[in-house]
Structure 1
Amino acid sequence: MERVDVIDEIPSNVYSYKRYQGRPFHLITPGNVRDQLQLFSEFQCREDDVILCTFPKSGSHWVYNTVQMLRSGKLTYSGTPLVADFEDLELISRMETPRTFLTHLTFPLIPTDVKKGVPKVIFVSRNPKDVLVSYFHFIDNMINTAFEGDFNFFMKFFLSEEFFSSGASWCTYMKEWTNGTIRFPEMRILSLRYEDFKKDTFGCIVKLAEFLEVKRSVTFLGEVEKNITFEHLKKGHARIRGESDRWSVVDKHGRVPIYRKGKIGDWKNMFTVAQNDYFNAIYKEKMEGYDIVFEYE
């Protein structure tokens, strides 16, 4: 593992990350990265585990709280899930059954048990332009983020293979997950798009309940829909339930700033015409051969 520090021609534009086996990882990844990845690769999953697998800023907390309500039968805000990438994995091992936790790691780095179909996986994707904008504001609202710079610099960083969130850039992440689900058909996986969850929330709640094999009344599912609105979850996150000692490294209150707008198409409020052309050109080049369809508005 080595630490990499990148400085732009504009000195105020800088970012840093840990590089291990050619892959980028955030500086808060524990230790030498290698040990955390090894432990997670060998992590013993249970058949009733649910692992949320998402690239950051793709709706993980939204879906996590939905899953928790469906599994528990309670309309309670559950806060921030344990993120296997950054946690002491013993914390997850000691969780009571049924466990629900999150990883942002790209497909080659997930547990072997996942590829064998032991736990259930919920994979959530979001159009990359909104991911980029949401991520920029997310980082801008935190401390010790390992990134400082303007939006134009962040876009170049986001589209590069040095982007540090999950061991892969967004493009590589999507390609590796697409390839992985084909290579390991025994996986028990439900794939959802953020945009579909936004436009047909109740329909996606029904899909989740069926996938989780929980029987809930239509009335209860309707109450879940009311309790997972963006505004409702944002209020829940602003209370003590949204705080965690783990995240005091990025926020003095230990509350990760995950709720901002939650809208589809917010990228149009940030991208210039030149930036959109640049993004589209890089995206077309990197995603050649992958027909992954997203809604951008």
Structure 2
Amino acid sequence: MEFVEVSDEFQTNKYSFKRYKGRPFHKTTPGNVRDQLQRFSEFQCRADDVLLCTFPKSGTHWVYNTVQMLRSGTLKYSGTPRVADAEDLKLIEQMETPRTFLTHFTFPLIPNDAKRGIPKVIFVSRNPKDVLVSAFHYIDNMCNTGFEGDFNFFMKFFLSEEFYVSGASWFTYMKEWSDGLRQHPEMRVLSLIYEDFKKDTYGTIEKLADFLEVKKDATFLREVEKNITLEHLKECHAKITGESDRWSMVDKSGRVPIYRKGKVGDWKNMFTVAQNEHFNAVYLEKMAGYEFAFEYE
């Protein structure tokens, strides 16, 4: 494992990360990275586990809280899930059944048990332009993130293979997940698209209920729909339930700035024409041979 620091010629824009076997990892990834990856690959999943898999800023907490409401049969806000990438895995091992936990890691790094179909897996994807904008605001509102700079520099960072959140860039992450799901048909997986969840929230809640094999009472599902609006989740997150000592290193209150706008197409308010053209060119080059169902403009 090596610690990498990158900056522009003026030293005003910079980022840093851990690199292991050519892959980028956030500096909060425990220790030498290798040991965490080893433990997670060998992590013993249970048949009633739900492993939530997302690239950051793709609707993670939105889906997580929906899942928790459906599984618990309550409308309680569950805050932030346990994140296997950055936490002591013993904390997840000790969670009460049924467990729902999160990873942002790319497909080759998820547990072998998940690839064998033992837990249920929910995979969520989102238009990368909105992911980029949401990630910029998210990182810009925290401390000790390993990034300092303006939006233009952040875009260069995001488009590179050094974007450090998942052990892979968004492009590699999506390709590895696409290949992995095709190569492991035995997996129990539900793939969701952020934009579809926005368009048909109730229909997506029904899909989740079916996948999770929970009672599908229409009255309760409608209440879930009301309680997972951005406004309601944002309000709940601003209360003490949104606080956690786990995140004190990136936010003084321990309340990470999860919810912002949640809109589809917000990238149009940030991208210049030149930035959009550049992004499109990089996308076409890197994603050649792959097609995804989310709306990409």
Same structural fold, with TM-score higher than 0.5 when normalized by the shorter chain: yes
1:291, CA displacement in angstroms? 1.1
Structure-to-structure mapping, 1:86-235, within 5 angstroms: 86-235=86-235
1:295, CA displacement in angstroms? 1.6
1:11, CA displacement in angstroms? 1.5
Structure-to-structure mapping, 1:217-296, within 5 angstroms: 217-296=217-296
Q: TM-score, normalised by structure 1?
A: 0.99
Aligned AA for 1:104?
A: H
Is contact 2:54-2:124 (8 Å) kept? yes
Is contact 1:130-1:264 (8 Å) kept? yes
Q: Measure the CA separation in 1 of the matches of 2:230 and 2:160.
A: 30
* 2:38 alignment partner in structure 1: 38
Q: Measure the CA separation in 2 of the matches of 1:162 and 1:172.
A: 11
Q: Measure the CA separation in 1 of the matches of 2:175 and 2:295.
A: 18
1:10, CA displacement in angstroms? 3.2
Q: Measure the CA separation in 1 of the matches of 2:10 and 2:24.
A: 22
Q: Measure the CA separation in 1 of the matches of 2:40 and 2:243.
A: 25
1:278, CA displacement in angstroms? 0.4
Q: Measure the CA separation in 1 of the matches of 2:222 and 2:251.
A: 34
Residue 121 of structure 1: SS of its match in structure 2?
strand
Q: Measure the CA separation in 2 of the matches of 1:121 and 1:95.
A: 17
Q: Measure the CA separation in 1 of the matches of 2:245 and 2:31.
A: 18
- CA RMSD between the two structures: 0.7
Residue 102 of structure 2: SS of its match in structure 1?
strand
Deviations 1:89-148 (A, max 9, x none): 000000000000000000000000000000000000000000000000000000001000
Which range is displaced more, 5-14 or 24-33? 5-14
Q: Measure the CA separation in 2 of the matches of 1:45 and 1:276.
A: 41
1:296, CA displacement in angstroms? 4.5
Deviations 1:231-289 (A, max 9, x none): 00000100111111110010000011010000000000000000000000000000000
Number of residue pairs aligned between Structure 1 and Structure 2:
297
1:45, CA displacement in angstroms? 0.0
Q: Measure the CA separation in 1 of the matches of 2:129 and 2:296.
A: 8
| % identical aligned pairs | 78
Is contact 1:264-1:296 (8 Å) kept? no
* 1:75 alignment partner in structure 2: 75
1:207, CA displacement in angstroms? 0.1
Deviations 1:47-106 (A, max 9, x none): 000000000000010000000000000000000000000010000000000000000000
Q: Measure the CA separation in 2 of the matches of 1:23 and 1:11.
A: 24
Segments of structure 2 that go 5 or more residues without pairing to the other structure are none
Aligned AA for 2:125?
A: S
Q: Measure the CA separation in 2 of the matches of 1:110 and 1:4.
A: 24
1:169, CA displacement in angstroms? 0.1
Q: Measure the CA separation in 1 of the matches of 2:21 and 2:296.
A: 34
Aligned AA for 2:49?
A: D
Q: TM-score, normalised by structure 2?
A: 0.99
